[in-house]
Structure 1
Amino acid sequence: MQLLSVNLAAPHAADYTDSAGRVTGIDKRPVPHPVLVTAPGPKGTGGSGLAGDTIGDPRHHGGDDQAVYAFAREDLDAWAAELGRELPNGVFGENLTTSGFDVNSALVGERWRVGDAEDGPLLEVSCGRIPCRTFAGWLGERGWIRRFTQRAAPGAYLRVVEPGEVRAGDRVTVVSRPEHEVTVAFWFRAVTTEPELLGRMLAAGDALPEESRERALRRGA
């Protein structure tokens, strides 16, 4: 896996977002320089894990479990072909546009080393991305939330286990994979279209975001 680009927000006002001030950071664009990645803190108090990035609605986005968002160029290309439009790196709001790896098959709790171990961060897969009103408004595609949900290829949110710098061209190495079945795609299906999978999602243990674990436990009860 390789980083094709590291993308930071170009904040702008929009009437399709519910954030304070009606400002969104979903429009992310590649930057040519290294970017420091750190754990931002809990949701609601911490924003993006990337220095210089913007989270428009910290109540629902950002924080430690959603510190970094990765989306594969291969998935962008598939959507571009279906939609009949160009989709540049960062347009889905992803911080890291990757190549050479199916991020949706990554396991919750899987760890990635970006770049050199000396200065590159260690990231841990936490969950997938749930499409929201802002995403739909930004793309401007009819029925976008339903279409994105049906594809069940949401891209991966990552925690920052060890801080460091990332840059376009960095190699990404999977350094550990847990022994369970809960991929990003499995997690997404469980919390959206297939709630019967919620109980099995608990196999990911403490690597699950707290909200997901509590939801699965309520389903089991």
Structure 2
Amino acid sequence: MSIGIRPTRPLLITPAVLHGARVFFESRGAYGCEGTAFVAGCVDESGALLGDTLVVPDQVATATPHVSVTVTPAGDLELVTALRPDQRYFARIHSHPGLAFHSRTDDNNPALTHQGAISIVVPFFGLGLRVGLAACAIYVRDNRQWRTLPPGDPERHQPDFLVDQTGRRGQNLPDDEVEARWRAKSGVKVGHGSERDRWVVVDERA
């Protein structure tokens, strides 16, 4: 799928989208199945990419002999018709039964193929989202390859980017005047972290 745009700013995902994804993944996980969904949105008035819509297409999942999930033809049609004219797909988010990583299947069958697309893998059938994106594996599409965005330094005394109970998460952006003005206008909290936090954050305003 290529209905997307190249991010020029971090993707801000609303807590409601992550909550909806977690509830769906856990419901599938109760039957030993993975789930997949897509994060869509638009460019808001501040110029940020706001992922405020979760699209869960029709899909078929198997639990044995190997877990897998496939979007059906009906689901493909739902993905095409689900968006408003001003919306685009920014990210795919899907669950794994165990640890979060891109499997060979994930690499060979990208659901989103545009430059800058985001792929989020949630561990333990969605349970990982209970502690936020810090528990997930996050990848960015770069030159037709998936490049991992590792979390912050594990030796930090306190993880700056763990999503708390309010759904808040900081972000680290280049400290030039343009970005500083954008941060002040958008109301997004500034923190210190890794490269992944230049790409994917939880929207402070939602």
Q: What's the TM-score, normalizing by structure 1?
A: 0.29
- TM-score, L = length of structure 2: 0.30
